[in-house]
């Protein structure tokens, strides 16, 4: 991409974006994907909740994290002290192997096109076109894991009988989406959904800031790892007021263009299968 560092010049530790050779594909990618600076701004503006019982939500750039585990988040020192006494001192640690998964999953939420896919998936999975009120009864659990960013290199190593490369760069993979009763979702997820509904009633705006009716669907997501697929503490949760256009778009039976070097272009329906491929 034009605003990214070419792969051969990428500094150590940075995962380079794919550099597209085709001008047509490059232009399409630049149209759909935000720049590095835009992603940073989007990430900083993500709304996250204090882990104490105050229920306050702040922009990610404004909230503080526990200096030890780097996971628990607080709006103030008072909340941090209260949460420590309430039990965080028992569960606090140096961080787990899941941390990378959740960091990647959170950063993905800074890409609007990925978030749009989540909106479409919720419409399909919760069958909101038939019953929009289902958004208030269910949450969506997303199974996340990492996989080698260079799948061809990983495949070659496997075919040669070599062990996995422990230093290989990894990418986030959404392994599955499941509908879960909202009452069974983690506390953080329920708080995120409640906060989004309260904000909707107060402002009458959707996730993009456009005017919307007060009964617009609010969809809640939480992200889990392979090591803990219960999402017991909803380490990463999000809730959005669906824009009206998403429902209208899915109601129109849209088609997506699937491009293949072997089989050419083909139009396929936008459904759970194509949205999650």
pTM: 0.76
Q: Where are the domains of the chain?
A: 96-277
Task: State which H helix or E strand residue 176 sits in.
Answer: strand 170-181
Average pLDDT for residues 156-175, to the nearest whole number?
A: 80
Strand 73-74 relative to strand 170-181, pairing: unpaired
How far is Cα 277 from Cα 257, in angstroms, rounded to an integer?
13
Nearest CA among 180, 175, 155, 173 for reference residue 165: 155
Nearest CA among 53, 86, 54, 92 for reference residue 72: 92
Average pLDDT for residues 197-223, to the nearest whole number?
A: 96
Q: pLDDT band at 253, cuts 50/70/90?
A: very high
Question: Any idea what DSSP says for residue 35?
Answer: P
Question: According to the model, what pLDDT value does residue 121 have?
Answer: 97
What are the residues whose beta carbons fall under 8 Å from the beta carbon of 255, sequence distance 6 or more? 267, 268, 269, 270
Task: State which H helix or E strand residue 195 sits in.
Answer: helix 187-203
pLDDT digits over 35-79, tens only? 778 888 888 888 888 888 786 888 888 989 888 887 788 999 999
Q: Which of 27-31, 35-39, 82-86, 136-140 has the lowest mean pLDDT?
A: 27-31
Task: State which H helix or E strand residue 266 sits in.
Answer: strand 264-269
Question: According to the model, what pLDDT value does residue 133 have?
Answer: 97
Q: Cβ distance 95 to 70 under 8 Å?
A: yes
């Amino acid at each position: 991409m034009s605003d990214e560092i070419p792969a051969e010049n990428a500094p150590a530790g940075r995962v380079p974006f794919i550099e597209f050779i085709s001008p047509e594909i490059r232009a399409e990618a630049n149209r759909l994907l935000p720049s590095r600076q835009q992603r940073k701004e989007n990430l900083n503006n993500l709304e996250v909740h204090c882990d104490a019982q105050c229920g306050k939500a702040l922009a990610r750039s404004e909230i503080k994290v526990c200096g030890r585990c780097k996971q628990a988040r607080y709006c103030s020192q008072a909340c941090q002290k209260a949460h420590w006494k309430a039990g965080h001192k028992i569960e606090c640690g140096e961080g787990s192997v899941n941390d990378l998964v959740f960091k990647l999953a959170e950063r993905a939420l800074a890409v609007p096109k990925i978030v749009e896919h989540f909106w479409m998936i919720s419409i399909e999975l919760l069958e909101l076109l038939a019953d929009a009120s289902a958004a208030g009864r269910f949450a969506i659990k997303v199974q996340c894991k990492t996989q080698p960013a260079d799948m061809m290199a990983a495949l070659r190593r496997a075919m040669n009988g070599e062990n996995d490369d422990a230093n290989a760069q990894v990418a986030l993979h959404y392994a599955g989406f499941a509908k879960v009763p909202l009452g069974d979702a983690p506390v953080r997820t329920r708080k995120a959904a409640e906060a989004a509904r309260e904000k909707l009633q107060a402002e009458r705006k959707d996730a993009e800031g456009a005017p919307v009716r007060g009964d617009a669907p609010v969809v809640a997501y939480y992200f889990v790892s392979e090591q803990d697929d219960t999402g017991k503490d909803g380490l990463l949760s999000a809730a959005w007021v669906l824009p009206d256009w998403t429902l209208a778009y899915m109601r129109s039976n849209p088609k997506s263009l699937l491009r293949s070097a072997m089989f050419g272009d083909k139009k396929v329906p936008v459904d759970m299968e194509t949205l999650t491929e």
